[in-house]
Each structure stands twice: as structure tokens, then as C-alpha cells.
Chain A
Amino acid sequence: MAVAPAVDDGPPIIQSSERRIVIPTNILTGIALAAVGYWAGAQLGISFALNDAGNTEVLLGYTFASIMFLVGIGFANYPLARLFGWRVTPQPAGDDHDGPWRYLNLSLDHKVIGVQYLVAMLMAMLFGGIGAMLIRTSLLVPDPPIVAPDKYLTLVSMHSVMMIFVASAAIVGPFGNFFVPYMIGTNRMAFPRLEALSFWLVPPAIVILLAAPIFGGFQTGWTGYTPLSEQADQGFDSYIVGFTLIGLALVVSGVNMLTTIIQLRAPGMTWTRLPIFVWGVFSASILGTFAAPILAAALVMQGLDRTVNTTFFISSAGGSPYLWENLFWFFGHPEVYIFILPAFGIVLELIVHFSRKPLWGYRTAVVGLLGVTLLSWFVWQHHLFMSGIAPALRPFFMFSTEMISIPTGIVFLVAFGTMWRARISMTVPMLFSLGFLFNFLIGGLSGVFLSDVPSDTTLHGSYFSMAHFHFTIVGGEIFAIVAAIYYWFPKMTGRMLNQTWGKIHFWWMFIAFNLAFMPLFAAGLLDMPRRVSTYAVSLQTLNDWVSVWAFILFASMVLFAINIIWSWFFTFKVAPANPWQARSIEWMLPTPLGRRNFEKIPVFTGGPYDYGNPSAKPAADLGGPPDRGMGSLGAEPAPS
């Protein structure tokens, strides 16, 4: 192991030349430079445009704006310092700013980044949710539609893309970044700058997406199919740049998260003691890192088609819409497992702590998560069953898609084994975890219906498929996110959410969600296609029922938002350090948490799930030797 440095009072400072320039970089300079960047990019685009569709200026504008935003907020500081030899000031907690202003600026502290992500994700969910309410309002009347068809499709596209942005990062972003270092016993992530970058790519993506209606919106939904996308005006450029930024965020977050989990585990934190939540984050990060670049490439191709007049996707000029379909779904299917794997991690984690029993079948659970990760690369063509792909391919993908339900079922097996003969506490996080199990069961079973081609013939492209993915993503991932918020809020913010309102929230949300989305299976079976602004009049009662319950569901989330804001900013009672009396390491630490995670790198002496064993040691020994700036790898081995 490494040798302790000779100086005992502080970390080593890297020597460099003395030049010191005082130029502020913060969110305000970021926004200012972004505006300048947009103008510069647009000017460049106008002068060098090869066609008059106006896409070059918007695409270059957005790209320059995003880059200049990142420069303005401070990401260029470190590269410039290395380029010109300015002083690099090491700081353990990695912050240039102080107080609440930290949360609005570039911070290298994973706890700050976690909270930033949480707020950003909740705001994006609000925007997406408003879009959903407008969609359901329009669907109250089939003919004439309340919202004009072109605006309706823009609404659908905005809602879906915004929610995809949320679903991609809403667990790994807030909770992965905040808690994985604690759970593996390290003071910082492997690449804090990359971690911060993965967050700061998100606000530009959201703003660029929200700008789409200014340019006429886009009518392709989140799947961006060609050649329909090529009929869109500059609104579609928002999709291209926004989605690319999110893809980059996935890659950058993944590189950081994977390296951290692989290399920075404290002594005693073996792979077989890793909390199942960390396994969920780990497996999702594998998918994010290696699938998102495919999306980025495909989006670049769409961008080139719109600016340089290439014809990647135009079949009358050597291209093919199938190229987009294959590239998009090769990313798109692992993407949905990026959504759900961390959710599995959360739900299993919470069920363990609220059953006060070890995780039943830990290794099987890990095999399940990794099995899903592996198989998700081999199923993408089930989105193309009706597309006219070579018929010989369909049996293989039917088979692989059916197979992926086996590791998914393992999650239920492990959850049930844990709950068997347990001592269950029906807290709010537990309620949401059980709600997850119910909703995901329905979502998963409906996936089986979609996985066989003969049955898919009726169901593909209909509201059945819509109901399937809303049950898995909303009923699944969103319920898991809400559970995680109720569970970890005390540790992240130092305040407890009101538990009574939490229970009301659960029943309100669970009932409204199921009553709103269950009938959509019937709608699909009754010949209603997806993404339509009008439908058969006989289905109006059904759609009205769905819309009303959707409004009620939205109201439950408003209640949740009020609970969050009230508890966070208007209550002053500090939450107890371990309100759930859970065994995992983050609950062994005080509330509120210190700026430095661990004064001494912990030595893990047992798993976090050793409930019921009176002679089990606590999860970690926090009294080890001091951290000498070597991170987890520098700690002394566990005392024998």
C-alpha cells in the first residue's frame, strides 16, 4: 500500500507557476456566456449554411451556447490552468463557493452535486408533468380536438423527451452521486470534475428542449423517427442537441461511477458486500456508458442530414430509415434498463431495511441485475417486429426478449424471500417500494404480451404499449424515486418529510396511477393507436376517465412538492441521525452530514444487511486511521 507523506498536516500541494488571475466563474457568467455563444454559433451557421432550412444556425447556436455555458460556469478553469501553468489549489471538499451559493455553481463535492441533481430532476419532472396534463386535457374530446394537431404532437414530444431526460438520470444522479461514496467508504468520487460535468450538462439540455416550441416544435415523439423528423423545422434541432447532451451526461457519469465503484472501495467492502443499491447503479452505469455513444452518433447523423445534406436516412438517396431505427433502438433498449436497474436497487435496498432481514439470495440478486444488463443488448429488434425487418430475425429476438423476463423475475424472488417471516415496518418508503412491486408486475407482464410477434401484431403502436411503458417507468421507476426521496431526505437535507402526508400521498398516487393507466391497456386492445390527437368516439368515456384520474394523479404530486418545500425550507427541526434504525453506513453518520464524508476511512466489518444476527458487527468501523488524502486506497488494512 502507499506510503504516508512526510508532512502530517494536510494534503500535498502540486507545485506550479505563480500566475493568479481573478476572474469569476459562476452560474451568472455561465448564462451570459451561453447567450454570447448562441449568437456566435448562429452567426457562424448563417454564414456557412449549405442549405436554407435554417438548421445549421440553430444547431451551431445550441452547441456553442452549451460549450460557452460550461466555460462560463468554470469547467474551462482546470484545462486552462494545465495549459498555461496556473496554480492548482487542492481542496478536500472541492468548492470554489460558499454557503447556499454552492448549490447554484460548479461544485466538486458529490453531496452538493447530488442535491443539485435532485432539484433539477424534480423541476424537469414538473415540466414533463405539465405537458402530460395538457395532453390529457386535449384527449378529453376526440373531435374536434381541444389542441390543434400540430401543437398536440409537439406537446407529446416535449412531454416524452423531458420525461426520458428525467428517467435517465433521476436515480443515479441524485442518489447515486450522493450515497455511493458513503456506501463504499470513500471521501470523493474518482473523477469529481466529470461528475460535476454530468450534472451541468442537464440544465442546458432542459433549456434547449424547452426552446423547441419557439422554433415550431417537433412532431416525432421521443423516438425521432426519420424521415418524419426531416419534415420538422428547427424545433427538431432541440431534440438533436438536447438528447446528445443527455447522452454525454450518461457517458461521463458512467465513467466516473464505474471507476469509483471499481477502484475506491474501502477495506472490507468486497464485491459481495456491496449494497444492492450500488449494484443497481453499477449495472445501469455500464449500460449508460456504452449505449449512449450509439445514440450520440445517430443524432450526429441526423444533424448532418439537416445541415450538410448527407442522406443517411433518405431511402431515395442511398440512406435508410431502418438505419435510424436500428441505431436508435440499439441504444433505446439498454436505455430503458438504465431506467429500471437503479430502481430495482432502491426497492431491494428499502425492502431489506424495512423488513429487518438480510437480503435473501444476495448473489442471485446480483446475477439477476447483471443478467438483465447483459441481455438488454440482445433484444432491441423487438421494437422493430412490425417494421419489415428480415423475418428470420424475429424468432431470435422473441426468444431473447422472453428470456430477459427471467432475471427480472429474480428481483421479485429476492424481494419475497426477504419479506418472508420478516418484521415489516409499513413506513412511507416501504409503501412506495411495495407499490413498485405491484406496478412493475403489471408492467412486466404486459411486456410479455408484447414480446411475442403474433400478439404484438395487435398491440404494437397502440395504447397497450403506452400502458406497458408507463407502468414500468412511472409505476416502477418514479415510485422508486419517490421511495428514495422519502427514505434519504433526512440524510440529504437534514429534515424529515411529513410522514402522515407521505402516507396520504402514497395512497392517492397509487390509486390514481392505477385507475388512470390500467384502462389504457383496454384502449390499446380496442384499436386506439399511440400519439393520436383524435380517436373513435366510442372510446371517449374511457379517455375521459383516464384524463380525470391523471389530473388527480398530478394533484398527488403537487401534494408531494408541497411536502418537500415545506419540510425542507420551512421546518427547523433537524431530522434524527437514523430515523429508520437501518444498519447501512450512511445511517451510522450524523445528521446533518459533515463537509468531509469520513475523517477516517472506514473499515467494513460486515454487510449492511446483517439483521437478526445478535453477534453481527456493525456495518463499518469508523474509527480507523486518518485519511491522508489517499482516498480509500490509502487506508490501513483492517485490524486483525
Chain B
Amino acid sequence: MSRLDRTHALRLLVAWAVLSVVGVLIAMQVHLPPGDQSTQATDETSLLQLMLIISTPVFVGVVLFILYSVFAFRQTRGAALEDGPPSYGNFRLQVAWVAITAIIVLLLAVIGINGLTSSAAETNFASSQAALGTGGSATTSGHRLQVQVIGQQWWFTYRYPDFGGAESLHLMLPVNTNIEFHVTSTDVVHSFWAYELGVKADANPGVDNITYVSTVRTGAFTVRCAELCGIWHGHMADTNNAVVSQADFTTWIAQVQKDNSDLNLPPYSPIYFPHPPIKGD
């Protein structure tokens, strides 16, 4: 490496270090979704934040290199065209680059796989859990609250098999609970996306797509369809959902069961055709 090489490299490295630090500090201020309403959401937000933080020095480095090169390594204006030095490569540098990029992406893959396995695991909530309503306890260890999500053109219906199959057009969930979604569709492919909960699962006809969430904070959340399902795909959204306290949930589900009591709903099945929407929902 010649002296000229070292000068340029040093300048670039220093600039990169400084700008990267600034960039990372800015990146850490960005508020990323989905938030902290569930353990999965918290994990996903952390992963997104990590990726943003890793991306920042990469982005800064590339942009800096391009800008530096076009100024420092320019043809002399007005003079005849000159060639650059005949350098064909540097084996060690190439190996170093490939190794570093490989390590970074491997790291991200491992973290991602880790997050994947933990998102399916149950969160161990504090022992002050009360059994919920008729139909069985939903928070004793090993049994998650079952919620069936039925997509159709163009709304979602939610069904609670633990509570006699009570149906609702809005999704209410108790806080501090492990929940198991069974997502299916009656016509085309939809996708159940509960934004603040960090949950997304495609609704395929004839398929029981299982995904999990562990709620840790009360609050409203939005559900949208995330897979093109026809003309009103954009309208397939509902902001009237919430994670509520367990007492509130018990009250609510009891009301839903009462509303459903005159309907003869079939037992739980991955393929299911819900009744038409109840007026006023």
C-alpha cells in the first residue's frame, strides 16, 4: 500500500467513523414499529432497530466513498484523458470484505432465527392470573387463548372457541395473555395484520395458519388486510380493536356470547363460514 493509498484511506476512515457515530445516534432516535404492545412486537422492534443501526454505517460508508472518489480521484479538467494506475485487485482486501459482510449477515440471520423461535414461545406471566369466564381458563400455563380469525371479502370475523364459539367483528384481547390465532379464509387469500401487536399471518382458504401473540400492554390496535384480496382490499381495515384488562375482556365476551345465543353456530373447524354481520357492529 503506497503512501497515497494510506492518506486517502485514513481520511476516509476518520470521516466514516465520525459520520457513522452521528448517523447511528440519529438512527437510534427513530421510532420504529410495531411498538411494545406484545412481547413479539417488542422483539420485532428491537430487531428493526438493530438492522437500522447496522445499516447506518454501511450507508454512510458507501455514500462517503462515492462522494470522496468523484472529488479526489477525478480527471484533471481540460487536460488530455489520463489512465489510472493498473491495479487488478488485492486478494487480502477482497477476502476481508467478503468475510466481514458474511459475519454481519450471519449475525443477523442468527438473531432473526432466534427471534423466530422465541415468538412462538409462551411468555411466562406473573402468577396473579385469574381464570377467565365460561369455557375454561385462558392463561394457565400451556393453554393459550384460542382466537379464530376468518378472513373473507372484505372483512375479518373473530371467533372464540373457548367461549362457545362467540363471534365478533372486532378483536378484543385480554392483557397479559398468551394467545393463539388460527387464521383462515373462506374465499381468497387475505392476510391478518395486527399492526401494533406485531402479528401477520396469511389467511388461506382451507388452511389453518397458526400464529402467536403475548399481550403485555392495554391499548387500541388496528387490523388491516395485507394481501391483495380484490377490489375492497384497501377498505379491509378496522381500528376498533383493543387489548383490554382481563376484567373488561370477561365482561365483553359475556356480552358477545349473549348476542350470539340465538344463533346456532357450528363447532370450531379450520374451515368455517360465519353468519352475516350483526347490525350495529
Rounded to whole Å, the gap between the CB of B60 and the closest CB of chain A is 11
Q: What separation, in Å, do the CA atoms of A394 and B235 have in the docked complex?
A: 30
Q: CB-defined interface of B92-127 with A at 8 Å, one 1/0 digit per residue?
A: 011001100110011011011101100110000000
Give the size range of B's interface with the partner.
35 or more
Q: CB-defined interface of A415-435 with B at 8 Å, one 1/0 digit per residue?
A: 011011111111000000010
Q: CB-defined interface of A350-371 with B at 8 Å, one 1/0 digit per residue?
A: 0000011111111110000000
Neighbouring A residues of B58 by C-beta, 8 Å? 441, 445
From B75, B202, B206, B224, A387 is in contact (CB under 8 Å) with B202
Given A405-B101, A438-B63, A441-B62: A529 and B111 interface contact (C-beta under 8 Å): no
Q: What separation, in Å, do the CA atoms of A393 and B232 have in the docked complex?
A: 32
Q: What separation, in Å, do the CA atoms of A530 and B225 have in the docked complex?
A: 10
Q: Is A398 an interface residue (CB 8 A)?
A: yes
Docked-complex contact A316 and B85, CB < 8 angstroms: no
Q: Is B14 an interface residue (CB 8 A)?
A: no
Q: Is B191 an interface residue (CB 8 A)?
A: yes
Q: Is B267 an interface residue (CB 8 A)?
A: no
Q: Is A377 an interface residue (CB 8 A)?
A: no
Rounded to whole Å, the gap between the CB of B12 and the closest CB of chain A is 10
Q: What separation, in Å, do the CA atoms of A610 and B85 have in the docked complex?
A: 10
The residue of chain A having its C-beta at the shortest distance from the C-beta of B226 within the complex is A461
Q: Is A462 an interface residue (CB 8 A)?
A: yes
Given A424-B73, A449-B48, A462-B226: A454 and B112 interface contact (C-beta under 8 Å): yes
Neighbouring A residues of B198 by C-beta, 8 Å? 457-458
Docked-complex contact A421 and B73, CB < 8 angstroms: yes
Rounded to whole Å, the gap between the CB of A227 and the closest CB of chain B is 5
Docked-complex contact A227 and B73, CB < 8 angstroms: no
Q: CB-defined interface of A128-155 with B at 8 Å, one 1/0 digit per residue?
A: 0000000000000000010001100100
Q: Is B263 an interface residue (CB 8 A)?
A: no
Q: Which of A33-41, A298-306, A406-414, A490-498 contacts B (4 or more CB under 8 A)?
A: A406-414
Docked-complex contact A386 and B69, CB < 8 angstroms: no
Rounded to whole Å, the gap between the CB of B30 and the closest CB of chain A is 9
Neighbouring B residues of A441 by C-beta, 8 Å? 58-59, 62-63
Neighbouring A residues of B55 by C-beta, 8 Å? 445, 448-449
Q: What separation, in Å, do the CA atoms of A310 and B214 have in the docked complex?
A: 42
Neighbouring A residues of B232 by C-beta, 8 Å? 149
Q: What separation, in Å, do the CA atoms of A434 and B73 have in the docked complex?
A: 14
Q: Considering residues A316, A321, A454, A535, which has the most beta carbons from chain B within 10 angstroms of its beta carbon?
A: A454
Give the size range of A's interface with the partner.
35 or more
Q: What separation, in Å, do the CA atoms of A422 and B43 have in the docked complex?
A: 45
Docked-complex contact A529 and B224, CB < 8 angstroms: yes
Rounded to whole Å, the gap between the CB of A482 and the closest CB of chain B is 18
Q: What separation, in Å, do the CA atoms of A387 and B90 have in the docked complex?
A: 44
From B5, B8, B83, B224, A612 is in contact (CB under 8 Å) with B83
Q: What separation, in Å, do the CA atoms of A219 and B234 have in the docked complex?
A: 13
Q: Is A266 an interface residue (CB 8 A)?
A: no
Neighbouring B residues of A32 by C-beta, 8 Å? none
Rounded to whole Å, the gap between the CB of A313 and the closest CB of chain B is 10
Neighbouring A residues of B85 by C-beta, 8 Å? 357, 421, 612
Q: What separation, in Å, do the CA atoms of A57 and B23 have in the docked complex?
A: 60
Docked-complex contact B102 and A219, CB < 8 angstroms: no
Given A321-B189, A387-B202, A424-B69: A357 and B87 interface contact (C-beta under 8 Å): yes
Docked-complex contact B193 and A529, CB < 8 angstroms: yes
Docked-complex contact B47 and A220, CB < 8 angstroms: no
Q: Is B278 an interface residue (CB 8 A)?
A: no
Q: What separation, in Å, do the CA atoms of A453 and B43 have in the docked complex?
A: 11
From A226, A412, A413, A421, B87 is in contact (CB under 8 Å) with A421
Docked-complex contact B47 and A452, CB < 8 angstroms: yes
Q: CB-defined interface of B73-96 with A at 8 Å, one 1/0 digit per residue?
A: 111100001111111111001100
Neighbouring B residues of A387 by C-beta, 8 Å? 202, 204, 209
Neighbouring B residues of A457 by C-beta, 8 Å? 34, 40, 44, 198-200
Neighbouring B residues of A362 by C-beta, 8 Å? 88-89
Docked-complex contact A455 and B47, CB < 8 angstroms: yes
Q: Is B272 an interface residue (CB 8 A)?
A: no
Docked-complex contact A149 and B234, CB < 8 angstroms: yes
Q: Is B201 an interface residue (CB 8 A)?
A: yes
Rounded to whole Å, the gap between the CB of B64 and the closest CB of chain A is 11
Q: A437-B66, A441-B63 are in contact. List 8 more A-B contacts (CB 8 A).
A: A360-B89, A419-B73, A423-B73, A442-B59, A445-B55, A452-B111, A581-B81, A611-B84
9 contacts between A and B (CB under 8 A): A358-B88, A388-B204, A391-B116, A399-B113, A402-B105, A410-B98, A423-B76, A434-B66, A438-B66
User: Which residues of B line the A interface, CB within 8 A?
Assistant: 4-5, 8, 32-34, 40, 43-44, 47-48, 51, 55, 58-59, 62-63, 65-66, 69-70, 73-76, 81-90, 93-94, 97-98, 101-102, 105-106, 108-109, 111-113, 115-116, 119-120, 183, 187-189, 191, 193, 195, 198-202, 204-207, 209-210, 222, 224-235, 237
The 7 closest A-B pairs by CB, nearest first: A532-B234, A452-B112, A315-B206, A388-B209, A461-B226, A357-B84, A612-B86
User: Which residues of A line the B interface, CB within 8 A?
Assistant: 145, 149-150, 153, 219-221, 223, 225-228, 231, 315-316, 320-322, 355-364, 386-388, 391, 394-395, 398-399, 402-403, 405-406, 409-410, 412-413, 416-417, 419-426, 434, 437-438, 441-442, 445, 448-449, 451-455, 457-458, 460-462, 525-527, 529-536, 581, 610-613, 616
